């Protein structure tokens, strides 16, 4: 192995040695503890330390890194105290995730380290978002994300590199090509000659280097960092290395030919560098022994302290309390229209739902300089539904961003922006397409605050629903996919005033909000909308029409179906509750609405099985049993995909069975 010290001084070379030997020694200790049954799972980075350590040293301390499961060297090189790290791995309350996350799946904002999720690939797009934040602020910084050779086969790898190239983001993508993805050798993973060749396909530069040579890694990444900043472009680095242990310690290495261990054992990044320093006269054997002794004592002392930590006493209130981030700083000064409507100190205008949404977005962009909108065709074209028409002229293309066709990467980029304190609204062109961004939403955005205290300040706009003969993939109601995910908020306005106020509230909320907008209501529903910047509270239902015979609990288009039904059937008096927010549910308003009539019909456009109606019905049965005079009934759409033919679609829709359900309940 050829080492080139370039202009590095002796103390700098020694510092590098200390940086690379520490994670090696920690791991050696971990393997002993594992054999003693004192710790659980362990993913080893032995043999790959030069990559994590060299790249972390090459970055500034306040540049975000997205490490994976073999990157202990990132954590130690960012000077994280060992006691807290050990507590993290033991699942202790005083670790980085309050015992909620295993192994390396945690982050630390003060250290600019973003916690990985298990899925291989999603973190790459977060690096895009962080780099976008740097670019928008014109800061001279880069973000850096790792991928294994296996991870490069994930769609997220392709999406993240493509977005970084198209948006010219200063991101360094580092592939650790260690020969295997679990038991799968690289010849069963990809067909290109080398992974760095993929860079060309995205229109970016790339280089393949010896990942076991810490000086080569450090020097390359220093240079690449300058390139990314000066040219405002991403860069791909393929680091050749080898996984010297099993995928994780329990899984063994039987499938790896012994010769490979012998061959790569000779290329050990720690031993070779140590040898180089001795040959170079930078360190002698005594000094090396001293450093090793110092670290041994350090590790033992910190481990002892960690093992003495008290066991966790579970507290459900605290667990639930950490799922969502709390609002901070002066948000209470925003007008809550529902407290002030009677004073009417503001002007109002008649608006369609679509115009009200546009109002909410525009005023939010004026309010928050750090708010960015992203979506397919949302810039000059104004979006598929023209909601963002005119925004580019007012706010510029840097804030109103057209995206390539890659929902997963854009949701990930939104989370990356949030790491850097930006707010973002992403437009799904149709709610149906959320399925290809699903993982980022339900696993990254939703869980991040509970896992390590980082919020995801992201709103995802979901043009949803059917009724216009658009077929199975432009008509779905998929809100219930998300109401089952702790950490998300799910909002679904039915009228213009709520649409604007809830949009503003969603953007002000520090948590990820799924914002459903019924496409058929965009231009068919109008109402008065205050001109001022105001919030409609998330988590509050509203009585759309008071009545005495049957309570209809509904949302979205269902509200309009119920109102229209009432108009056509004056003999029966419906009490109509518009839920407006589906997660969290407003149980108090539900109870009050049940109490008024004792007969409850839950109505929604979504299909029956597993829909919101099931959840609301179960809650009413459990908590309002004494208030009921009839079984809770659900009127929902047929349990089929949404059909294209208009007659079939009409038959599919819950609306076509509303009359039957009302009569059934009335007669009960
Ligand atoms: C989406 C997804 N599929 C499968 C897995 C299971 N899994 C975890 S690590 C791994 C191998 C990863 O290989 P590679 O990306 O080369 O990284 P390495 O473990 O070699 O560092 C697999 C298959 C996972 N975590 N996520």
CA of 636 to the centre of ligand 1 (A): 40
Mean pLDDT over 58-83 rounds to 98
* Nearest protein Cα to ligand 1, atom 21: 148
Which residue, 201, 187, 102, is CA-closest to 150? 187
Ligand 1 and 119: CB distance under 6 A:
yes
| Cβ contacts of 379 within 8 Å, gap of 6 or more | 388, 391, 392, 397, 400, 401, 402
- Ligand 1 probe mutation, 48, 120, 148, 253, most atoms within 8 A of CB: 120
pLDDT tier at 632, thresholds 50, 70, 90: very high
Ligand 1 and 180: CB distance under 6 A:
yes
Which atom of ligand 1 is nearest the CA belonging to 70? 21
Specify the pTM.
0.97
Which atom of ligand 1 is nearest the CA belonging to 48? 21
Q: Apex CA 581: angle with CA 576 and CA 584, to 5°?
A: 120
What's the pLDDT at 332?
54
Question: In the block, which residue shows the tokens 């928008």?
Answer: 136
Which atom of ligand 1 is nearest the CA belonging to 151? 15
pLDDT tens per residue, range 4-18: 999 999 999 999 999
| Cβ contacts of 654 within 8 Å, gap of 6 or more | 558, 561, 603, 604, 605, 635, 636, 637
| Cβ contacts of 341 within 8 Å, gap of 6 or more | none
- Report which DSSP code applies to 118: S
In the chain, count H helices and then E strands. Answer: 25, 23
Ligand 1 and 151: CB distance under 6 A:
yes
Please tell me whether the peptide bond between 7 and the residue prior to it is cis, using omega within 30 degrees of 0.
no
Ligand 1 and 289: CB distance under 6 A:
no
Ligand 1 and 118: CB distance under 6 A:
yes
Mean pLDDT over 357-384 rounds to 98
- d(CA 182, CA 249) in angstroms, rounded, equals 11
Ligand 1 and 70: CB distance under 6 A:
yes
- d(CA 473, CA 172) in angstroms, rounded, equals 36
What's the pLDDT at 340?
55
Q: Is residue 339 predicted with pLDDT exceeding 80?
A: no
CA of 67 to the centre of ligand 1 (A): 13
What's the pLDDT at 284?
98
- Ligand 1 probe mutation, 45, 182, 245, 246, most atoms within 8 A of CB: 182
CA of 444 to the centre of ligand 1 (A): 17
What's the pLDDT at 346?
85
Q: What residues are annotated to the active site?
A: 474
Mean pLDDT over 360-376 rounds to 98
Question: In percent, how much of the chain has pLDDT > 70?
Answer: 98
Which atom of ligand 1 is nearest the CA belonging to 152? 15
What's the pLDDT at 333?
62
CA of 188 to the centre of ligand 1 (A): 14
pLDDT tens per residue, range 575-622: 999 999 999 999 999 999 999 999 999 999 999 999 999 999 999 999
**174: its two tokens:** 């580092």
CA of 634 to the centre of ligand 1 (A): 43
Across the chain, mean pLDDT equals 96
pLDDT tens per residue, range 286-318: 999 999 999 999 999 999 999 999 999 999 999
Ligand 1 and 605: CB distance under 6 A:
no
CB atoms within 10 A of CB 121: 27
- d(CA 255, CA 249) in angstroms, rounded, equals 14
- d(CA 444, CA 173) in angstroms, rounded, equals 19
Ligand 1 and 122: CB distance under 6 A:
no
pLDDT tens per residue, range 461-509: 999 999 999 999 999 999 999 999 999 999 999 999 999 999 999 999 9
What's the pLDDT at 336?
75
- Ligand 1 probe mutation, 68, 125, 181, 190, most atoms within 8 A of CB: 181
Q: Is residue 266 predicted with pLDDT exceeding 60?
A: yes
**β-bridge pairing 513-518 and 458-464:** parallel
- d(CA 444, CA 330) in angstroms, rounded, equals 28
Mean pLDDT over 250-257 rounds to 92
């Amino acid at each position: 192995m050829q080492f080139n010290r370039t202009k590095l001084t002796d103390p700098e070379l020694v510092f590098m040695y200390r940086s690379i030997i520490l994670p090696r020694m920690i791991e050696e200790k971990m393997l002993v503890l594992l054999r003693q049954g004192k710790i659980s799972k362990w993913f080893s980075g032995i043999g790959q330390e030069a990559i994590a350590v060299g790249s972390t040293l090459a970055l500034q301390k306040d540049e975000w890194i997205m490490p994976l499961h073999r990157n202990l060297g990132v954590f130690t090189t960012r000077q994280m105290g060992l006691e807290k790290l050990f507590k993290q791995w033991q699942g202790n309350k005083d670790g980085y995730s309050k015992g909620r996350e295993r192994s390396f799946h945690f982050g630390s904002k003060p250290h600019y380290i973003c916690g990985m999720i298990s899925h291989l690939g999603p973190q790459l797009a977060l690096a895009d978002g962080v780099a976008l934040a740097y670019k928008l602020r014109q800061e001279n910084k880069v973000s850096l994300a790792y991928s294994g050779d296996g991870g490069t086969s994930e769609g997220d790898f392709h999406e993240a590199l493509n977005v970084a190239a198209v948006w010219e983001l200063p991101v360094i993508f580092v592939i650790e090509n260690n020969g295997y993805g679990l038991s799968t050798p690289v010849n069963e993973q990809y067909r290109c000659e080398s992974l760095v060749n993929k860079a060309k396909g995205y229109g970016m530069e790339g280089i393949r280097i010896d990942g076991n040579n810490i000086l080569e890694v450090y020097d390359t990444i220093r240079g690449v960092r300058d390139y990314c900043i000066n040219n405002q472009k991403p860069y791909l680095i393929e680091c050749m290395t080898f996984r010297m242990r099993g995928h994780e310690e329990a899984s063994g290495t039987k499938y790896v030919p012994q010769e490979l261990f012998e061959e790569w054992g000779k290329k050990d990044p720690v031993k070779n560098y140590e040898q180089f320093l001795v040959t170079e006269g930078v360190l002698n054997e005594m000094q090396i022994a001293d450093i090793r002794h110092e670290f041994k004592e350090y590790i033992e002392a910190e481990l002892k302290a960690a093992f003495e930590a008290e066991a966790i006493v579970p507290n459900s209130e605290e667990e639930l309390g950490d799922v969502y981030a709390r609002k901070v700083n002066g948000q209470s000064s925003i007008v809550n229209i529902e407290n002030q409507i009677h004073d009417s100190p503001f002007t109002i205008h008649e608006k369609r739902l679509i115009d009200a949404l546009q109002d909410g977005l525009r005023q939010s962009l004026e309010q928050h300089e750090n708010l960015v909108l992203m979506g397919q065709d949302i810039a000059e074209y104004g979006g598929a539904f023209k909601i963002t028409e005119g925004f580019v002229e007012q706010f510029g293309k840097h804030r109103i961003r057209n995206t390539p066709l890659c929902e997963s990467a854009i949701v990930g980029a939104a989370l990356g922006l949030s790491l850097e304190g930006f707010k973002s609204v992403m437009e799904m062109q149709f709610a149906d397409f959320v399925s290809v961004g699903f993982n980022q939403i339900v696993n990254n955005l939703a869980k991040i605050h509970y896992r390590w205290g980082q919020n995801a300040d992201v709103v995802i706009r979901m043009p949803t629903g059917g009724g216009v003969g658009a077929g199975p993939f432009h008509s779905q109601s998929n809100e219930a996919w998300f109401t089952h995910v702790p950490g998300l908020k799910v909002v679904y306005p039915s009228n213009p005033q709520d649409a604007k106020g809830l949009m503003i509230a969603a953007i002000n909320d520090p948590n990820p909000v799924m914002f459903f907008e019924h496409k058929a209501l965009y231009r068919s529903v109008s109402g008065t909308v205050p001109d001022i910047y105001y919030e409609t509270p998330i988590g509050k239902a509203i009585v759309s029409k008071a009545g005495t015979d049957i309570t209809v609990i509904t949302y979205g288009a269902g509200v309009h179906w119920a109102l229209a039904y009432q108009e056509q059937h004056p003999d029966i008096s419906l009490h109509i509750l518009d839920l407006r927010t589906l997660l969290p549910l407003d149980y108090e308003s539900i109870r009050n609405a049940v109490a008024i009539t004792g007969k409850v019909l839950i109505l929604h456009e979504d299909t029956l099985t597993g829909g919101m109606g099931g959840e609301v019905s179960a809650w009413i049965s459990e908590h309002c049993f004494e208030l009921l005079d009839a079984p809770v009934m659900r009127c929902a759409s047929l349990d089929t995909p949404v059909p294209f033919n208009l007659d079939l679609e009409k038959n599919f829709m819950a609306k076509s069975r509303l009359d039957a359900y009302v009569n059934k309940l009335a007669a009960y």
